[in-house]
Amino acid sequence: MSGNAVINLRKVDVFQQKHLVLSDVNLNIDKGEFVFLIGQTGSGKSSLLKIIYGDLHIGNGDGLVAGFDLKNLAIKDVPYLRRKLGIVFQDFQLLTDRTVEKNLEFVLKSTGWTDKNLIQERIKDVLEKVGLRSKIRKMPHELSGGEQQRVVISRALLNNPEIILADEPTGNLDPDTSEEIVLLLKQISQSGTAVLMATHDYHIIRTMPSRIIKCEGGIVHEDAQIV
């Protein structure tokens, strides 16, 4: 394991209920790395992400994510692990009854931020990073799909995560907007936050080549190619 690893899985077996989904998983992702995660529906991509964010317990093997030992992860520690992770889903999951600012404020307050000035500063900072500073007072329905996904990415950045897990983040977006979102995630990785992006979009992978991890036949291939 390299000293820069933010995700390190060794000989991990992944179970859903009692069904073995992935066996003997070895995976190493370093600080600031951008990695695509591919595989057919049902190949275990989602299960692998769930292992990383503490939603599934690892069977056999060892796992470290952002300094947390997955093998001995107590339920009470899962929220602390998740503060080190930013999670971006396909279906934005923004609170539709409040502004962009209030969406972000809600997350900060629920993760222990109390100082109003620091909260304001952090919200402006993350919106600046995703190019949406001017949309701070908008409601989600007033934003395009791409803008909503940028808000989701800014939300994922609030607590300075070591890793962003992006699960099909371009699934609901047109090709041009998809490219913009992946470019943004790549820029974020260059500033030191690792990004693991699950996708079905091979056009994106060809347009923006990067390291590929593939789930296939119950196995995780660490350095895969696409044909």
Instruction: For residue range 95-118, list pLDDT tens digits in order.
Output: 999 999 999 999 999 989 999 999
Residues 87, 52 contacting (CB under 8 angstroms): no
Residue count of the chain: 227
- The residue out of 160, 186, 219 marking a domain boundary is 160
User: Is 119 found in the same domain as 76?
Assistant: no
**129-188: per-residue pLDDT in tens?**
999 999 999 999 999 999 999 999 999 999 999 999 999 999 888 999 999 999 999 999
Rounded Cα–Cα distance for residues 96 and 28 (Å): 37
Domain assignment of residue 64, given as a range = 1-84+163-169+194-227
User: Is 99 found in the same domain as 74?
Assistant: no
Domain membership of residue 179 (yes or no) is no
How many domains does one find in the chain?
Answer: 2
Tokens at 132, concatenated: 């949406």
Q: What residue type is assigned to position 206 of the chain?
A: R
Asked if residue 224 has pLDDT above 80, the reply is no
Global pTM exceeds 0.85:
yes
Closest CA to 164 of 193, 198, 191: 193
User: Is 50 found in the same domain as 2?
Assistant: yes
User: Is 113 found in the same domain as 148?
Assistant: yes
Asked if residue 223 has pLDDT above 90, the reply is no
- The residue out of 116, 142, 160 marking a domain boundary is 160
Domain membership of residue 184 (yes or no) is no
Closest CA to 156 of 68, 51, 85: 85
